Amino acid sequence: MNKYTLITSPTNHHRKDYKYLSYGCLSLFQEKYKKNIIQNHPWNNKKKYLNDAVKIKKIYSYVLQKIAKSLNENHKINKDLRYWKIIIGPWLHTFLASYYEKNLSVDILLKKKQKIIIPIVNFKNENQIPDSFFTFFSKNIYASSWNDYLFKLIISKKKIGKNFSFKKKIYKNFKESKKKMNKSYVKTLQKILLSLTNLIFFPLIKKQPLVFFNSYLSLKNKLFLIFKNLSLPIYFNEEKKFVYPDTFLRESLIKKFKKNDINTEILKLSLLNIPTDFLENFNYIGKKISKLNIPKKPKVILTANGIYGSSFEARYIAECISNGTKLILAQHGGRYENLKDFFHLNHEVDISDFFIGWGGKKNNIKIKNLGIIKPIKIFKKDNRKKNNILFLMLARGRYLRTIDSEINLKNLFYYYHEICPNFYDSLKNNIKKNLIYRSSINNYWNEKEFLEKKNAFCKIDFNRHKSNLFNEARESKVVVCSYFSTTFLELMSANIPVILFTPFNNESYNTETLKAFSEMKKNFIFFNNYKNAAKFINKNWNDIDNWWYSKKTQKTRKYFLNKFSKYNKQLIFDIQTLINNLTKIK
């Protein structure tokens, strides 16, 4: 029997005696090794995926309650479950889904009868523990190092058959792109001015009834809130000290849980890996917030960063709510009302008193669909240059499918290896040079280098954070969204010629979204695949504007926007009504 070495993260060294855990372990340049993938991802099966999503919800509920109690005891406080949901909920759900998914893969692996050598990394646990949810979500789950670490955590707890053996993995990993933050001097200046304003006017604003930040509202609407409520927007100084994870403390918390079952095992791993901002740095952050020149007991907080907020913002919100403050969260991106089951929406509605949605569905007790809060400029027909085809690419990591996604790892490999480069090949030769691929600097799959090799005559822009999307769109005859996202909603709102194709299974979308896709398909805004999208552009290259600004296309566009991203002239007045309703509650 042959003996194979298992690959759990990308490598440049390949031999015939290698097996790969998943498609995420392959390079786009090494397609021939697909036959060496040792197993199908368990969530390629849609029914299995949906059933497991329900199980993860139950695990999340159980673990959250136990961790909340443990943190209350450790920090010598008595906060309710809502408080801890606000602070640790997004991290905990993401961590649990990541663990659950990887654990499924390991269980399938260990049923194999082949002789397999499993390389194990020797990372120290504390070196893989993030400081915050933001760090975990933006870096850890996309990194080879963290995924190999998670693999080690899981397999080290399993019973291993005699056909498996371990060896130490020397971590010379596949080249990973590091995210570079684009510093905005305008934003820095805004923060300085807000900080100075809050300092100067603190005696007046410390008792202001409304606090708002990261609202995405226009300047005009912000000024309305300022004068109507005698309240200024606030700024958080988030400077904090570096704290190394306290292994002894974490182990002592874990020892209190005696049960020997899978839920307790997951609970222990969650406590072992909890970000330092929630444990070692918790008291320090609390003291920093208490010293900030910001209101400590506002009547209402309004923000659009309900799930992606920093540790300081989440902690401030949680502390204020503990003192009776009401919370209004606003939708900050698309897809909230498009997927059948979306953690972001469920979580934000759960922790808020009112949730402001962009769409046109009827309001319920908490969700108020007031319309898109972002100020989107509407472009006119003669206000655009018309040369390019702007192709917007998905930027998604290679290791985890994650909950709330219709995209599995096999789909992703196919998307980067086939769909994106083949769209270029499907265009007529005379317009190929007009194509611009636009994506993130993260370049998780090294797709930039792959496209540069495959498609010689197009432009590749993988630094989208340094350029304005709408400026790029103005210079395009048409924008192609290769996945359904916030960007598509924004471009539709701006009335810029845009088409959408969804290369993945649409089963995750709700009935309203599928109906909208069907309506858009009739007027060539939506396509089922890249070939039909490219065919449409080839046929209508000299007639794009006539198609887009026709009555039929515009009617379909407005139909979609009324469903999911409606424009509301009375938006700020409707928001003020919500604020007034909450300030009257005793």
Three-class DSSP labels, 556-568:
HHHHHHHHHCCCC
Helix axes 46-75, 262-273, angle to 10 degrees: 60
Do 488 and 565 touch, CB atoms closer than 8 A? no
Average pLDDT over residues 150-174: 82
- Asked if CATH classification 3.40.1000 holds for the domain at 190-241+281-371+569-583, the reply, yes or no, is no
Q: Is pLDDT at 8 greater than 90 in this prediction? A: no
Average pLDDT over residues 151-162: 91
- How does the average pLDDT of the chain come out, rounded? 88
Report the alpha-carbon distance of residue 509 to residue 72 in Å, rounded: 39
What is the reported pLDDT for 238?
Answer: 83
Q: Is pLDDT at 181 greater than 60 in this prediction? A: no
Residue with tokens 């072992």: 272
Choice among 195-204, 219-228, 283-292 with the minimum mean pLDDT = 195-204
What is the reported pLDDT for 177?
Answer: 41
The closest of 360, 384, 397, 548 to 470, measured between CA atoms, is 384
> Would you call 448 helix, strand, or coil by DSSP?
helix
> Would you call 5 helix, strand, or coil by DSSP?
strand
Q: Please, which residues have CB within 8 angstroms of residue 245's CB and are 6 or more apart in sequence? A: 125, 126, 129, 276, 279, 280
What is the reported pLDDT for 180?
Answer: 42
Q: Please, which residues have CB within 8 angstroms of residue 292's CB and are 6 or more apart in sequence? A: 236, 237
191: β partners: none
What is the reported pLDDT for 176?
Answer: 43
Average pLDDT over residues 384-392: 85
Domain ranges of the chain: 3-168, 190-241+281-371+569-583, 388-564
| Assigned superfamily of 388-564 | Glycogen Phosphorylase B; (3.40.50.2000)
Report the alpha-carbon distance of residue 146 to residue 135 in Å, rounded: 12
Which pLDDT band, with edges at 50, 70 and 90, does 224 fall under? Answer: very high
Tell me the Ramachandran region of residue 191: left when phi exceeds 0, alpha when psi lies from -120 to 50, beta otherwise.
Answer: alpha
Which pLDDT band, with edges at 50, 70 and 90, does 200 fall under? Answer: low
Q: Is pLDDT at 337 greater than 70 in this prediction? A: yes
Average pLDDT over residues 31-54: 84
Same fold, 190-241+281-371+569-583 and 388-564: yes
